[in-house]
Amino acid sequence: MNTWVILGAIVALVLMRLRKPSMLTWAAAWWVAMFAIVRYGFTVPVPISVVKLYMGLITAGLVAYVLTDEERIEQVCQPVLAFMTQKRFQLPLLATMLAIPALFAWSIYAGMTRDPQAPAFARTVHPAPPDEITVHDNTVSIGTADNPYRALEETDPEAFGARLANGREVYYANCFYCHGDIMAGEGMYAHALNPIPTSFQDPGTIAMLREAFLFWRIAKGAPGLPEEGGPWASAMPAWESFLTEEEMWNVVLFLYEFTGHRPRAVEEHH
Amino acid sequence: MSQKRPGVLLIGLGVLAFLAVIVGAWRLAVTIDDTMAFRAPTRSAPAVAETESGAADQGWTPREQALADEAAAQAEADRTKPYVEAEYRAVPRIGSRVAIWVVAQLHLLFAAFVLAVPMFAVVVEAIGLKTGDKRYDDLAYEFTKLLSVSFSLTATLGAGLTFMLIALYPKFTNYLMSVFSPTFLPYVLLFFAEAAFLYTYYYGWGKFGPKLHLFLGIMLNVVGTGIMFIANAWLTFMSTPSGVSENGALISTWDAVSNYTWMPINIHRIIANLAFGGSIAAAYAAYKFLSAKTQAERAHYDWMGYIGNFVAMCGLLPLPFAGYWLAKEIYAFSQTMGLTMMGGAFSWLFIIQAVLIGNLFLFANWYLWLAMGRIEGAARFKGYIWPLLVIVIACFAVWATPRSIIASTEEIQAMGGSSHPILGFLGVMSAKNTAVNIIILATFVSFLLYRRSNIIKTTARGAGIVKILQGLLILASAAIVIGYGIRGYFVDAATRIGFSVPQVSSVLFCMLFVTMLDAYLTRGAQATKTQWGRIRPISQYVLILLAVTFTWMMGLMGYLRSGLRLHWHVYGVIRDTSPDAFTPTLGYATKVVSSTVLIFFLMIGFVFWLAGLSGKKVGAEEEEQADAVANSTLGFGPAGAPATASASNTATASAASPPPGNRP
């Protein structure tokens, strides 16, 4: 977070509160302060789509607040009416009237002259898996299958440890170039990809999924992504061509072990 | 006269020109074979029998022979044409899917309204019966007035939907009938019973004993709910089938009925219908308020709008919890379907849904704050509005924050992925659950403040301690919700999902006990009267916005529930092989939903208009009287503002109690 921007906005609002400004000034100041925080208050900039969403909500909130009370409406309308009707504001009014279309013109000019960009897109993080897949002549039901070696965690910790060790080897021999040494999606090849690989450290990724889902993604890669929700942008190879089924289940175990997440359990029907 | 002459001349010329064109066209038609080079000389084509005797004998031209052969071939083809059962039929331009989609959605919207109104009409009538206050009875009657036409429209749309299903999707409809045929007879019988109860309830108002009448209303609800449960079995079977083999052969009708999502949908729809019906009734009251000519009318419809909105809020508050249960059962049925819904192709619909739900809560709170304007003592609570608004907007923002953000390539590179390193934490279930629970608490506090507004002095013992206890309960509930929300980031998915139970329970517990304490506090308290009708007109537009938002959301979520089946008629059992077996884009879907909402409001506008007409003839005298009262003593202008201070005081006394509504 950009602490100085946030502190600056808060201090400005507090100072303004002490000066007891008109409702119009107060509402405008809140809007500007919120815009400053949303747009410039984060070290990693917030995408424009979210800025628009948040500012829309803030605008709706301020409008609702002003319109709730007759006195507040009066306080907002009076200066606007005075600005539009009183003689002393003729010049600023003229300037405003010229500035509004000029602003639009500038906005269009800026839009037309900037460097071409790839269109923004919504990435679907969790594609819907098929009901079942066939890997090395073996059919795996994605909806119901569990990791065949997960039970070893309780019944035979030593064997489970051996599987984890194998999963580690497989990961660092094949996966870490893109997914990174700490699985944060920052491997050495990651930034050659667009979009970059998802961070498994993030609690919104593998922690939300069952192990069979990960097995499907590893085995079938980008070529196995479903038609729905496409077009997909993924460089994930179909690892079934290079790894055994056992190695893929082992690497799934390792992904959860390393990140500390637990796989999603099967929901019970009530 | 001379000015008319050119006009007459032109008309005459026009008639002549028209006749000339007709004659010319006729001549062209009868002489066309002679004048066109590729046509043979005039002679009608021979009958089929003639062709068999041979062209040479008849001395036919080659063209005549060809025509005769064609006719014979066609006759033979007609005679031997085999019967082939059509799988699909198309609707021109818009396609079968959109046609079914729109009609089904309209049918469901009207059905929801028809099922919802009796629920609260009966409760309002029961309150009137218990308290002996005739105004409640009148209000219940006014709600019921909207039912008659809506019921007819529901039935008409239902019949239209059935015919369209049979005509456009005959094979699939036949399959559904084969599975659910045992449910059809109960459905039809219940439908007749519903019609009987509805019309006796409506037309028998004031003509039966009050308890018998109330019983009719209760039975109307019971029968209506039964109908909905049966229809829900059909549609939930399509999404989460059970009771059939892999090939679709029926094994057990009961298992097909009680599939994974049947009961969650039943509960979800009962609550959603209540919220939707309340909001539509409130929109009707708002429309009547805005077109009211007298202060008495304004007072009545202000009260009606308030009650409608109260009902809608009672439905809205528990609705997200019912939604969670439904989503959980979808995941339990199929992880694939769950992921398609929350993380895949349909996940972006939930961002739109979040914006709509956020709007509902914002509008609901806004209406309550505006409604405080009709209570004299409410000014002391003005200071609470800003912090409540900040909480509502903050929760709204969390609720609407997408996990995977729409971003340009540069933005994605800057974020290091499609989710923001900080805002990404707001995009997961822990944050969403926390936000929705807190926004519900905030709305409850707004309602509590509204309830308290007209209390001048409490007479309850230990009032101070009770108030502190209420505050502590609310804070404790908020702390539990936030605590579990934060903890949810550090546990596995199953535990995290389980956290929603204590979160929801604490909020429900808090609302229940704080309301009970509030009832204790306000019992026998000294209070100012509520000045019904003295509310700013913008509040009525808020009520209409609430109804539109509810309708929009129902349309959107209806599409989601149905669209989740993707290219299946019955998920995993009967595949959709029609040309429409693709998932439409979000933009296209929202256009269809929005068009349906627009059509619905045109139709419900017609219902409102008819309901208004039903009270007109008898009500005219009352209206005149009310006008006279308003003009002579109240002095209220069209905008509802008092003309003078003294008039305002008089109005306060008169409008404090809502007047009875008009009856046919």
DSSP bridge pairs for A138 = A135
| DSSP SS3 for B277 | helix
What is the pLDDT at residue B616?
56
Nearest CB among A117, A185, A267 relative to B408 is that of A117
What is the pLDDT at residue B36?
52
- CB distance B617 to B576 below 8 Å: no
- CB distance B217 to B204 below 8 Å: no
Give chain A's mean pLDDT. 88
**A143–B336 CB contact, under 8 Å:** yes
Q: Which residues of A touch B347 (CB under 8 A)?
A: 124, 126
**B400–A57 CB contact, under 8 Å:** yes
Mutate one of B267, B406, B545, B575 to test the A interface: name it (highest A CB count within 10 A): B406
∠ CA A195-A199-A203 to the nearest 5 degrees?
A: 130
What is the pLDDT at residue B643?
33
**B493–A208 CB contact, under 8 Å:** yes
Domain boundaries, given as residue ranges, for chain B: 15-80, 94-318+539-664
State the Cα–Cα distance between residues B558 and B9, nearest whole angstrom. Answer: 62
- How far CA A134 is from CA of A140, A245, A269, B394, in Å, comes to 6, 11, 27, 47
What is the pLDDT at residue A56?
94
- CB distance B259 to B588 below 8 Å: no
A156 — pLDDT class (breaks 50, 70, 90): very high
Instruction: Check if B27 contacts A (Cβ < 8 Å).
Output: no
Q: Which residues of B touch A54 (CB under 8 A)?
A: 397
State the Cα–Cα distance between residues B281 and B147, nearest whole angstrom. Answer: 10
State how far Cα A120 lies from the chain centre.
13
Taking only residues 619 to 648 of chain B, the set having a beta carbon closer than 8 angstroms to any beta carbon of chain A reads none
Q: Which residues of A touch B366 (CB under 8 A)?
A: 64, 67-68
- Length of chain B as a residue count: 664
Q: Which range, of A90-104, A128-142, B560-574, averages the lowest pLDDT?
A: A128-142
Taking CA atoms, what residue in B is nearest to A209? B493
What is the pLDDT at residue B642?
32
Taking CA atoms, what residue in A is nearest to B538? A67
Measured in angstroms, the CA of A128 and the nearest CA of chain B are apart by 5
**A125–B343 CB contact, under 8 Å:** yes
Q: Which residues of A touch B428 (CB under 8 A)?
A: 203-204, 208
| DSSP SS3 for B345 | coil
Mutate one of B335, B423, B449 to test the A interface: name it (highest A CB count within 10 A): B335
B356: part of which helix (H) or strand (E)? helix B347-371
pTM: 0.78
Q: Name residues whose C-beta falls within 8 Å of residue B6's C-beta, 6 or more positions apart in sequence.
A: none
List the domains of chain A with CATH numbers: 3-98 (no CATH), 132-259 (1.10.760)
Q: Which residues of A touch B584 (CB under 8 A)?
A: none
Helix axes B493-522, B463-487, angle to 10 degrees: 170
Task: Provide φ and ψ at B526, rounded to 5°.
Answer: -80, 125
State the Cα–Cα distance between residues A182 and A168, nearest whole angstrom. Answer: 12
Q: Which residues of A touch B409 (CB under 8 A)?
A: 117-118, 194
The DSSP-derived string for B123-183 is: HHHHHHHHH--HHHHHHHHHHHHTHHHHHHHHHHHHHHHHHHHHHHSHHHHHHHHHHHHHH
Question: Residue A105: is its pLDDT beyond 80?
Answer: yes
List pLDDT tens digits, range A42-53. 988 899 989 999
What is the pLDDT at residue B521?
85
Instruction: Check if B266 contacts A (Cβ < 8 Å).
Output: no
**B339–A213 CB contact, under 8 Å:** yes
State the Cα–Cα distance between residues B72 and B65, nearest whole angstrom. Answer: 11
Question: Residue A4: is its pLDDT beyond 80?
Answer: yes
Instruction: Check if B334 contacts A (Cβ < 8 Å).
Output: yes
Q: Which residues of A touch B358 (CB under 8 A)?
A: 57
Query: Which ipTM did the prediction report?
Result: 0.73
**A204–B427 CB contact, under 8 Å:** yes
DSSP bridge pairs for B118 = none
Measured in angstroms, the CA of A207 and the nearest CA of chain B are apart by 6
Q: Which residues of B touch A186 (CB under 8 A)?
A: 416
Instruction: Check if B362 contacts A (Cβ < 8 Å).
Output: yes
Instruction: Check if B585 contacts A (Cβ < 8 Å).
Output: no
**A194–B385 CB contact, under 8 Å:** no
- Integer-rounded Cα radius of gyration of chain B: 32
**B400–A53 CB contact, under 8 Å:** yes
Mean pLDDT by 10 residues, chain B (664 residues): 67 88 81 53 50 61 90 93 88 91 95 93 91 87 88 94 94 93 94 94 89 94 96 95 90 94 95 93 93 90 92 87 87 83 78 88 92 84 90 92 80 78 84 91 92 81 88 94 90 77 89 90 81 90 94 93 90 89 87 95 91 62 48 32 33 39 36
